[in-house]
Structure 1
Amino acid sequence: MNKPNTAPFAEWHAPAHWRAVDFISDLHLQAGDPATFDAWQQLLQAQHSQRADALFILGDLFEVWVGDDVLPSTAAPGSRTEADDHRFWRTCAAVLRTYSQHTPVFFMHGNRDFLFGTAALSACGMQGLPDPTVLVFQAQRWLLSHGDALCIDDTDYMRFRAMVRQPDWQRDFLAKPLSEREAIARSLRQQSQAHKAGTTGDSTRWSDVDEPTARDWLQRSDCNTLIHGHTHRPAQHDLGDGLQRIVLSDWDLNAQPQRAEVLRLDAQGPHRRLLAPASRHPCRRPV
């Protein structure tokens, strides 16, 4: 099998005064899911005493992103309509921009929002991170990734991923009218939903992270722990030799039971913070 990453690993060194950082991924925010948006917004509006020193978003914050021209600061006159989706993206950008004024926000592309560009990052007040990135925090090294590049057994997806991450493909796609891009995105979502229905909705039958490749990444990056999302299977996996991977929760406030977790990393190590359904105030539990 081809290893998905052979380049040097990017690094981000946290400031010495940071005491806690939060990680989230796979919220898949969309206009048709106000419950998940409300939980996310209330998390970002938590009291100062509950906030971490930084927020790391490890991909798929949005259900889909077809180009930065859905935001008013980047749209040419007459190039967009006032659709519900567009108003929703602008609301999300405003929430992030307000939060980033007091807390640094770092964003890593996922498989749904890989077209999130520099203009959108600026509009949201976020800083982009390459996938993967080593976070150096409190004298330890933590490897961060969305996780989809490690699902190498899903050969169809890996071919698709290699194609859409090419600059030429992205330039050609973004040159299409916004309405055409949105139609293509709807078609791709329908295909994805049909694929999931074909596996009877059982996420355990979907491709998972290849653990030998995860071990290789950890060894080459000189890290002991990989933190990632994408698979929607929150867990902690022992990879042997002191190596592990921690899988972030996806968010779905319409599911039963509801899913919405934040992974906090502090002096005590990583621990999950559940958003209580009634109050949305995080409750700590072990990883």
Structure 2
Amino acid sequence: MSRTLFIADLHLCQEEPAITAGFLHFLQREAPHCDALYILGDLFEAWIGDDDPNPLHQQIAQALRALPIPTFFIHGNRDFLLGQRFARASGMTLLPEEQVLECYGHRVLIMHGDTLCTDDTGYQNFRAKVHKRWLQRLFLALPLRLRQRIAGKMRAGSKQANQHKSISIMDVNLQAVESTMLRQQVKTLIHGHTHRPAIHQFALQTQPAQRAVLGAWHEEGSMIQLDANGIQLIRFPF
């Protein structure tokens, strides 16, 4: 059966070996039996540059490169600095933050999803700053050890800030969802980021539409399968 798989929000790091093992198992057993794999951001918990000699990064790159299928990547809010050097090492194709696919008779928009959370103005302001090219180039030019310290402080600050935010503020804004889908002329959207896996059915200018949200890989795997019959959200043990 022809099918395409989508995953997001694995947040791979050395401190969570079970998630890494689950992902490697997925790459060996599940991913080879599909037409393509799309990773919709936050594959890694943090990314401070392609020159980081973290052995986990090398392990993941080798496992991805071994896949007999095309693999694509959209940056997340945790790994938006992932660059062409790692993409080449892993055999992945980097995509823009919004990508429309034509698959099995379906027109689907895929994205990480953080740009849809417009109610979280603090995050959106932060995102606008760190996505400035000159600032990224400046950060990547810093010594690796200094980048590690800065990234650690930023993660701690983000975690503390999120503790004081309501769940609704950190979720997508439905008007942002609708305007984005209308702009891209799609009736189906797949994204991650919010860690709230579900398939939402709604009306988009009186037409049926759907928004599929991937789950984070905390205690189990999460993927969306797209085939001729449509989309399916699948959870599975590591």
TM-score by length of 1: 0.78
State the Cα deviation string for residues 197-226 of structure 1 (Å, max 9, x = none). 345xxx735511111111111112111011
* 2:176 equivalent in structure 1: 213
Q: Give the conservation status (yes or no) of the 8 Å contact 2:119–2:169.
A: no
Q: Give the conservation status (yes or no) of the 8 Å contact 1:215–1:243.
A: no
- Equivalent runs, 1:122-141 vs 2, <5 Å: 122-141=88-107
Q: CA deviation at 1:47?
A: 6.2
What is the root-mean-square deviation of aligned Cα atoms in Å?
1.7
Aligned length: 235
* 2:6 equivalent in structure 1: 23
Q: Distance in 2 between matches of 1:218 and 1:212?
A: 10
- Equivalent runs, 1:28-39 vs 2, <5 Å: 28-39=11-22
Q: Which stretches in structure 2 are left out of the alignment for 5+ residues?
A: none
Q: Percent identity?
A: 41
- Equivalent runs, 1:1-287 vs 2, <5 Å: 19-46=2-29, 51-71=33-53, 86-99=54-67, 102-198=68-164, 204-240=167-203, 241-253=207-219, 259-276=220-237, 280=238
Give the counterpart letter for 2:51 in structure 1: D
Q: Distance in 1 between matches of 2:221 and 2:158?
A: 22
Structure of larger gyration radius:
1
State the Cα deviation string for residues 158-195 of structure 1 (Å, max 9, x = none). 11111111111111110111111111110011112222
Q: Give the conservation status (yes or no) of the 8 Å contact 2:5–2:36.
A: yes
Q: CA deviation at 1:238?
A: 2.6
3-state secondary structure, aligned to 2:127: helix
3-state secondary structure, aligned to 1:56: strand
